[in-house]
């Protein structure tokens, strides 16, 4: 069954993990080895258009007006293959995606991209799926994308072996808590080691991988409780520990993976010093890249932004707030 038009457009926001996902329980099914919890981030938005076309010989994928490299195209094709199999279709598709991030923010996100793609592809194929199924489809392409299907505060549980339907679930809507995330952009270049490769290499070679997997559920539980009670200091402490544990685990791989740049460390120290000396209520997190994200209350945004803007090596900052889930546009 195919939708009458065979095309659809969807948009989704990126997200930042408060409790980190790092490592897979099942590589072919792309199941995370640990639970993760995120905030969906407005305004980091990706818009994706999918059009199935009987005249196409293969799937095409264009991102920000540039044809994607073969590896990226194949990831898109793999997601489309699943949609085609479910819908009983054979048509190839043209996928056009745009990141509506501030120019050259260096924050390109597979999470918003695959969430928008999953939603647009299922609609273009005329499949009547709920958000849980869309999240599961997005998860198979990129696990963090499963979380961007939902707005606000979102959890992706760890996968049980063979659980092909694993999906993220919303914990609290975006109105639950008016938290802010100040993103400190520290580099323009693409990260040298992608998340998928980085976490598989960590699993295969880091002596700290098992301890990380063992520790992560308790960290996620502390993050979940902090979000539920709107308790920023306890959420912040658990988030920082999750971040540092994930990076320590990756750094201990062989050879070690080091996503941080000098500016990453400068921003971390600036934020921690302001917290310890001036009582600034802000906590940090860093994904598989060099940028630092600071979590704070609305009332502290100006202070945090000024601090990070004045930190050596920080190129610019960007203020995000809890965003909504994926939608057709």
What is the contact surface with ligand DP6 in residues (CB under 6 A)?
17, 20-22, 30, 36, 110, 142-144, 195-196, 287-288
DSSP 297-318: EGGGHHHHHHHHHTSTT--EEE
Residue placing its CB nearer to ligand DP6 in the complex, 189 or 276: 189
Residue placing its CB nearer to ligand DP6 in the complex, 17 or 123: 17
Residue placing its CB nearer to ligand DP6 in the complex, 146 or 232: 146
Residue placing its CB nearer to ligand DP6 in the complex, 246 or 296: 246
Q: Is the peptide bond before 43 cis (omega within 30 degrees of 0)?
A: yes
In sequence order, the β-bridge partners of residue 24 are: 32
Say if residue 83 is exposed, middle or buried (CB neighbours under 10 Å; 0-12, 13-18, 19+): buried
CB atoms within 10 A of CB 156: 29
The 3-state DSSP class for residue 136 equals helix
Q: How far is the CB of 43 from ligand DP6 (least distance, A)?
A: 18
Residue placing its CB nearer to ligand DP6 in the complex, 36 or 241: 36
121 with 3: CB under 8 angstroms?
no
CB atoms within 10 A of CB 163: 15
The two structure tokens encoding residue 268:
């971390």
Q: How far is the CB of 110 from ligand DP6 (least distance, A)?
A: 5
Contacts of 72 (CB under 8 A, 6+ apart): 61, 63
229 with 289: CB under 8 angstroms?
no
Q: How far is the CB of 313 from ligand DP6 (least distance, A)?
A: 21
Q: How far is the CB of 146 from ligand DP6 (least distance, A)?
A: 8
d(CA 176, CA 167): 21
Q: How far is the CB of 142 from ligand DP6 (least distance, A)?
A: 3
Residue placing its CB nearer to ligand DP6 in the complex, 6 or 105: 105
Q: How far is the CB of 301 from ligand DP6 (least distance, A)?
A: 23
CA dihedral 106, 143, 292, 305 (to 10 degrees): 80
Q: How far is the CB of 240 from ligand DP6 (least distance, A)?
A: 14
Residue placing its CB nearer to ligand DP6 in the complex, 49 or 147: 147
Q: How far is the CB of 42 from ligand DP6 (least distance, A)?
A: 17
182 with 212: CB under 8 angstroms?
no
Residue placing its CB nearer to ligand DP6 in the complex, 111 or 263: 111
């Amino acid at each position: 069954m195919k939708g009458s038009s065979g095309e659809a457009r969807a948009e989704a926001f990126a997200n930042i993990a408060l409790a980190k996902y790092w490592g897979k329980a099942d590589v072919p099914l792309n199941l995370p080895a640990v639970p993760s919890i995120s905030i969906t981030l407005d305004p980091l938005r990706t818009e994706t258009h999918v059009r199935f076309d009987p005249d196409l010989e293969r799937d095409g994928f264009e991102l920000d007006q540039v044809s994607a490299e073969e590896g990226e195209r194949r990831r898109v094709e793999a997601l489309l293959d699943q949609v085609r199999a479910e819908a009983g279709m054979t048509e190839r598709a043209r996928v056009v995606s745009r990141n509506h991030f501030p120019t050259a923010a260096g924050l390109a996100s597979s999470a918003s991209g695959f969430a928008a793609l999953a939603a647009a592809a299922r609609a273009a194929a005329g499949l009547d799926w709920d958000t849980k199924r869309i999240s599961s489809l997005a998860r198979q392409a990129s696990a963090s994308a499963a979380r961007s299907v939902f707005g606000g505060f979102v959890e992706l549980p760890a996968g049980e072996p063979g659980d092909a339907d694993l999906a993220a679930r919303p914990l609290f809507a975006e109105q639950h808590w008016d938290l802010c995330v100040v993103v400190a952009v520290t580099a323009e270049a693409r990260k040298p080691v992608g998340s998928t490769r980085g976490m598989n290499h960590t699993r295969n070679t880091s002596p700290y991988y098992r301890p990380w997997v063992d520790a992560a559920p308790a960290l996620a539980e502390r993050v979940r409780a902090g979000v539920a009670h709107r308790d920023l200091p306890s959420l912040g402490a658990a988030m920082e520990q999750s971040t540092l544990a994930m990076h320590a685990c990756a750094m201990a791989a062989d050879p070690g993976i080091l996503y941080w740049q000098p500016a990453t460390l400068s921003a971390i120290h600036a934020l921690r010093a302001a917290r310890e000396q001036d009582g600034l209520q802000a906590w940090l997190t860093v994904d598989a890249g060099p940028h630092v994200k600071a979590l704070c209350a609305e009332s502290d945004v100006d202070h945090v932004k000024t601090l990070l803007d004045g930190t050596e090596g920080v190129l610019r900052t960007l203020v995000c707030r809890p965003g909504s889930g994926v939608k057709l546009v």
